[in-house]
Amino acid sequence: MLNAIIIEDEKPAMEALIQSLSKVSPQVHIKARLSSVKESICFFSGETDADLIFSDVQLTDGLSFDIFSAAPVRIPVIFITGYDEFMMQAFETNGIDYLLKPVEKEQLDKALQKFRNFQQHFNHSQPVMDKLNGYFQQQSKKRVLVKNGNEYIPLKVDDILLFYTENKIVFAIDRCGKKYQADRKLSDLETEMDTSVFFRANRQYLVNINYVKGFRAYEKVKIVLDLTIPLTSHVIIISQETAPQFRKWINEY
């Protein structure tokens, strides 16, 4: 038996999900049906032994992310919504999957199977959600939320040429040379990025290996990078102390 909670403010959508779950996985037992941020925060303020949450994102009184910020919820969540703009936020909370409405039974079945695979994979001597959170913190960084004017954009990590800091503000430059503001510290981004792809060249720059065209000696003992996209306002220099580490990194990956 899999105990589940549904958070959905539209009754037809909730009933449709329950019906689909009954066909895809009769073992799923709906323990609670919640319809608002306020109601959900109140519910989760007490103890619950549910295994999984199915949650819409946009509710009548706010976003469901507000629930998981306000209440100590450590249950994995499958987000179901009509919009794809909240994907990054979903995986930065307890999200293990993100389904777009209308949800096909095949999608729902795959999401449930993903959850079961994680349950089987992780050692039950440690809470499943602890390991799920650790896994997704490492695996979900396929996009970074950046700002362009007043608009927030989930920028693909593969499209990011480099991150750099200037006047204590961190920016990202994409493969087209466009600049965005990143609302993160460079040190935090460094720990979140795949170390086989991104290298901390110096205090100012974090560089994507896929856009390093080559490098050359600079002042005999230092290295200056040549990028596939010329950036005249950026000269990326690797110090004498870091140069051996850089050579090893670029040879290995």
Our count of domains for the chain comes to: 2
135, 150: one domain: no
Task: Tell me, letter by letter, the H, E, C secondary structure of the chain.
Answer: CEEEEEECCCHHHHHHHHHHHHHHCCCEEEEEEECCHHHHHHHHCCCCCCCEEEECCEECCEECHHHHHHCCCCCCEEEEECCCCCHHHHHHCCEEEEEECCCCHHHHHHHHHHHHHHHHHCCCCCCHHHHHHHHHHHHCCCEEEEEECCEEEEEEHHHEEEEEEECCEEEEEECCCCEEEECCCHHHHHHHCCCCCEEECCCCEEEEHHHEEEEEEECCCEEEEEECCCCCCCCCEECCCCHHHHHHHHHHC
38, 91: one domain: yes
Q: How far is CA 153 from the centre of its chain?
A: 13
Separation of alpha carbons 60 and 186, rounded Å: 36
State which residues form the domain around 14: 2-139
Tens digits of pLDDT across the chain (253 residues) = 899 999 999 999 999 999 999 999 998 999 999 999 999 998 988 767 889 999 999 999 989 988 987 887 888 999 998 876 667 666 667 788 888 888 888 999 999 988 888 776 554 444 555 555 555 445 446 788 888 888 888 888 999 999 999 998 999 999 999 999 998 889 888 888 888 899 999 999 999 999 999 999 988 889 999 999 888 889 999 998 899 899 988 887 6
165, 89: one domain: no
150, 135: one domain: no
123, 157: one domain: no
| 237-to-183, 193, 241 alpha-carbon distances in Å | 24, 20, 12
Pairing mode, strands 143-148 and 179-182: antiparallel
Which of 139, 158, 178 is the endpoint of a domain?
A: 139
Considering the entire predicted model, what is its pTM? 0.51
94, 171: one domain: no
Which of 139, 174, 203 is the endpoint of a domain?
A: 139
Q: 188-192: long-range contacts (C-beta < 8 A, 24 or more apart)? A: 189/144, 189/163, 192/137, 192/141
* 56 contacts 111 by C-beta, under 8 angstroms: no
89, 191: one domain: no
Dihedral, CA of residue 218, residue 219, residue 220 and residue 226, to nearest 10: 0
193, 169: one domain: yes
Separation of alpha carbons 191 and 201, rounded Å: 14
Give the model confidence (pLDDT) of 36-77 as tens digits: 999 999 898 876 788 999 999 999 998 998 898 788 788 899
Residue 249's contacts (CB-CB under 8 Å, 6 or more residues apart) are 199, 209
121, 209: one domain: no
